[in-house]
């Protein structure tokens, strides 16, 4: 009895493998893009691009030269593109031009800060710097484009290259989505290079990854007067102080302790003399949450608490979330199926021990806008050389990119996109019954 069952089981498993393997076999379908990306004609090319962009950092929606350089490189590779998309954005296409579509994203903007690293390719623009690695992001996506283009004839579908403006608070991703270029795209992948994670490793997680981020500003108005005669004034300093204390009670008293949220008041402007009660006080701050519903609720309560608490002290308050200037960034939430897919691709390319989990981060990423529109996946790319000095964190004037990470980013982009097209193609064949007969 036993042996009959075992043989049957064996046959079933064997048949399963025969039929399943062609459905999606990463190693058969996708070349080793890491070896390709490490070759000098790709690696040196990426390094050169990254250094050019680093020398000429441009702020959000002003990435004109960066955008031009990207288009020159795409022309060089024979890759068609759309431009301008979202002011300075460029969207390139590799493959058949037909569905399925899979997108890869790189952000292009720099920061308003002075570089303090003394090196040959230091920023040539005073007060502007690529201190978040977006110069590396552009160069890695171009590197991916270069190696993908060489394998274009094997694609059943199209890779969409998204070079996006204004990630640093400008919500460039939202403008890309609004432009409609991601319609019919099945999935989008993005990466962020980060110190603190060893070179050759990646980190990510399923579900909420980085927080939604909003700003608020409130003008609390009272009535100014002599500090020695408070009865004739309405003191906005005291009212603003109470507002700030009450704002801290939202997270500590109203929110599930397991649902992490932040409210920080970082700005308090009011008064200019020791003995004068001012007319008004302006406060400003930021709030963060990981769940879309929590983020909306937090925003709502911030507004209520400021107005309500100001009224208790006989003041009026006007609250603004500055959405015209700085759109709210929703939480970054990674798609669970794409997480499994990412682990299999990154594991094959780097080794499964190099694919790490992570805690969610209270920073924010405008990649969230893509994830509201379609399945999206963001991961962190390591660049720390553990044998060398520790790299400073992002947004530091001493920020440095370890350029040895460039081939890893390019290869991951390329593998994720090519593998995903192969996977979608086989899924279509299965639905059409082309592999079913064997089962
Ligand atoms: C794409 O898929 C179709 C349908 O299975 C097939 O006929 C065609 O040869 C494939 N093209 C490429 C480039 O793989
Ligand atoms: C998406 O697909 C629909 C239906 O095939 C088509 O009408 C539309 O033009 C496509 N959109 C883009 C941006 O390709
Ligand atoms: C608050 O607004 C009301 C209505 O506009 C106004 O009558 C009142 O004087 C204001 N109070 C302060 C302290 O500005
Ligand atoms: Zn940044
Ligand atoms: Zn960044």
Q: Are 128 and 58 in contact (CB under 8 A)?
A: yes
CA of 252 to the centre of ligand 2 (A): 47
Please tell me if the CB atom of residue 98 comes closer than 6 angstroms to any atom of ligand 2.
no
Question: How many Cβ atoms from other residues are within 10 Å of residue 11's Cβ?
Answer: 10
pLDDT of 326 reads 84
* Residues near 97 by beta carbon (within 8 Å), at least 6 away in sequence: 158
| Atom 3 in ligand 3: residue holding the nearest Cα | 316
- Return the structure tokens found at 316: 């009026």
| CATH of 212-320 among 1.10.3720.10, 3.30.70.360, 3.40.50.1100, 3.40.30.10 | 3.30.70.360
Residue 192 in marked binding region? yes
Neighbour-count burial for 60-96, b at 16+ CB within 10 Å, e otherwise? bbbbeebbebbbebbeeeebebeeebbbbbbbbbbbe
Residues 371-406: b if buried by 16+ CB within 10 A, e if exposed: bebbbbbbbbbbbbbeeeeebeebebeebbbbeebb
Segments making up each domain of the chain, as ranges: 10-209+331-431, 212-320
29 pLDDT tier (thresholds 50, 70, 90): low
Q: Determine if residue 132 is labeled as part of a ligand binding site.
A: yes
Distance between CA atoms of 293 and 5, rounded to whole angstroms?
51
Phi-psi region of 226 (alpha: psi -120 to 50; beta: other; left: phi over 0): beta
- Mean of all residue pLDDT scores within the chain: 92
CATH topology of domain 10-209+331-431: Aminopeptidase (3.40.630)
217-259 pLDDT tens trace: 999 999 999 999 999 999 999 999 999 999 999 999 999 999 9
With a cut of 60, say whether residue 2 has pLDDT above it.
no
Integer Cα distance of 355 and 28 in angstroms: 21
Find the distance separating the first CA and the last CA of the chain, reported in whole Å.
24
98, 101, 183: which to mutate for ligand 2, most atoms within 8 A of CB?
183
Q: How far is residue 387's CA from residue 289's CA, in Å, rounded to a whole number? A: 36
Among protein residues, the one whose CA lies closest to atom 11 of ligand 2: 183
DSSP one-letter code for 354 = G
| CB 315 near ligand 3, within 6 Å | yes
Quick: pLDDT tens for 55-64: 999 999 999 9
pLDDT at 82 over 80: yes
Residues 147-195: tens digit of each pLDDT: 999 999 888 999 999 999 999 989 999 999 999 999 999 999 999 999 9
């Amino acid at each position: 009895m036993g042996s009959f069952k075992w043989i049957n089981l064996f046959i079933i498993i064997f048949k399963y493998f025969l039929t399943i393997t062609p459905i999606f076999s990463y190693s058969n379908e996708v070349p080793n893009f890491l070896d390709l990306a490490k070759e000098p004609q790709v690696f040196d090319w990426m390094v050169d691009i990254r250094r050019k962009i680093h020398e000429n950092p441009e702020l959000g929606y002003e990435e004109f030269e960066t955008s031009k350089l990207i288009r020159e490189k795409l022309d060089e590779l024979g890759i068609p593109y759309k431009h301008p998309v979202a002011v300075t954005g460029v969207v390139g296409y590799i493959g058949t031009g037909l569905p399925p579509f899979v997108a890869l994203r790189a952000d292009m903007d720099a920061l308003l800060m002075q570089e303090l690293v003394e090196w040959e390719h230091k920023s040539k623009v005073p007060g502007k710097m690529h201190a978040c690695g977006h110069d590396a992001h552009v160069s890695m996506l171009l590197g991916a484009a270069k190696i993908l283009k060489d394998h274009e004839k094997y694609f059943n579908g199209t890779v969409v290259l998204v070079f996006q403006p204004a990630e640093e608070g400008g919500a460039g991703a939202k403008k890309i989505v609004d432009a409609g270029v991601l319609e019919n795209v099945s999935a989008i992948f993005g990466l962020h290079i980060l110190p603190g994670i060893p070179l050759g490793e990646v980190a990510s997680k399923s579900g909420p990854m980085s927080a939604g981020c909003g700003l608020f500003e409130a003008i609390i108005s009272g009535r100014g007067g002599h500090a020695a005669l408070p009865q004739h004034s309405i003191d906005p300093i005291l009212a603003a102080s109470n507002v700030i204390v009450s704002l801290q009670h939202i997270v500590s008293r109203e929110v599930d302790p397991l649902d992490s949220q932040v409210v920080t008041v970082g700005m308090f402007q009011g008064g200019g003399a020791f003995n004068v009660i001012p007319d008004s006080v302006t406060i400003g701050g930021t709030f963060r949450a990981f769940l879309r519903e929590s983020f909306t609720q937090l925003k709502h309560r911030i507004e209520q608490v400021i107005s309500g608490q100001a009224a208790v002290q006989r003041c009026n308050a006007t609250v603004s979330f500055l959405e015209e200037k700085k759109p709210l960034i929703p939480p970054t939430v990674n798609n669970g199926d794409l997480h499994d897919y990412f682990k299999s691709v990154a594991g094959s390319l780097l080794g499964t021990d190099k694919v790490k989990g992570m805690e969610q981060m209270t920073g924010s990423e405008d990649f969230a806008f893509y994830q509201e529109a379609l399945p999206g996946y963001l991961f962190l790319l390591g660049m720390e050389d553990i044998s060398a000095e520790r790299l400073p964190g992002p947004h530091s004037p001493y920020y440095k990119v370890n350029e040895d990470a460039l081939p890893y980013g390019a290869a991951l982009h390329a593998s994720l996109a090519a593998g995903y097209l192969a996977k979608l193609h086989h899924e279509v064949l299965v639905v059409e019954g082309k592999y079913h007969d064997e089962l």
